[in-house]
Amino acid sequence: MLLELFLSFLQIGLFSVGGGYAAIPLIRSQTVELHPWLTAEEFMDLATIAEMTPGPIAINGATFVGLKIAGLPGAVAATLGCILPSLVLVSLLAFVYRKYRNLPLLQGVLSSLRPAVVALIFSAGLTMLLQAAFGGRQPVSLANTRWASVALVACAFLTLRKLKWSPILTMALCGAGGLALGLLGLF
């Protein structure tokens, strides 16, 4: 199990180009679809906790999954698997970039990676939005809509984009709103 956790998160660490948000679809694929370690609902909890806690999302997620599956040794194995590719690749890339940063070929490669990163982040956001709004129920329809979640998503979006509130304040208010709605039986 420890080797399986290590190898799964090694793949995530190796292919999550673009940072934590780009890693979310890869983590979901490994932990929900490929290995039945988490349910879709548990994955949403993982993404929320990993976002709220200090540190990179992928590492927080690896630690969370490893701890759930195999205790402290699992957390260590998953976290090491997640960070090992970054340690090696960043060291290598720093050397190459410092030596060849002015080459047009390198600038072209970096420019071509940006759309892939945007697509990964968009995919993660869309997956999480559908999970929040419809709870993973199929088919996606108005009858299956979780309106309290949709309202919280809309409020969070507006406070972040229009009012320019702090993401931390927005998350805290959404958490309080979710708690209040849950106590009222609306969530």
DSSP secondary structure letter of residue 69: H
In this structure, the number of other CB atoms found within 10 A of the CB of residue 182 comes to 11
Sign of CA dihedral 83, 88, 91, 94: negative
Given this model, what pLDDT does residue 32 score?
Answer: 93
Query: Any idea how long the chain is?
Result: 187
Residues of the chain with pLDDT under 50: none
Residues 53 and 8 sit within 8 Å (Cβ to Cβ): no
φ/ψ (deg, to 5) at 123? -60, -45
Residues 79 and 2 sit within 8 Å (Cβ to Cβ): no
Given this model, what pLDDT does residue 123 score?
Answer: 87
Burial of 135 (0-12, 13-18, 19+ CB in 10 A): middle
User: Domain spans of the chain?
Assistant: 2-134, 146-187
In this structure, the number of other CB atoms found within 10 A of the CB of residue 160 comes to 15
Residues 10 and 84 sit within 8 Å (Cβ to Cβ): yes
Between CA 44 and CA 23 the distance in angstroms is 14
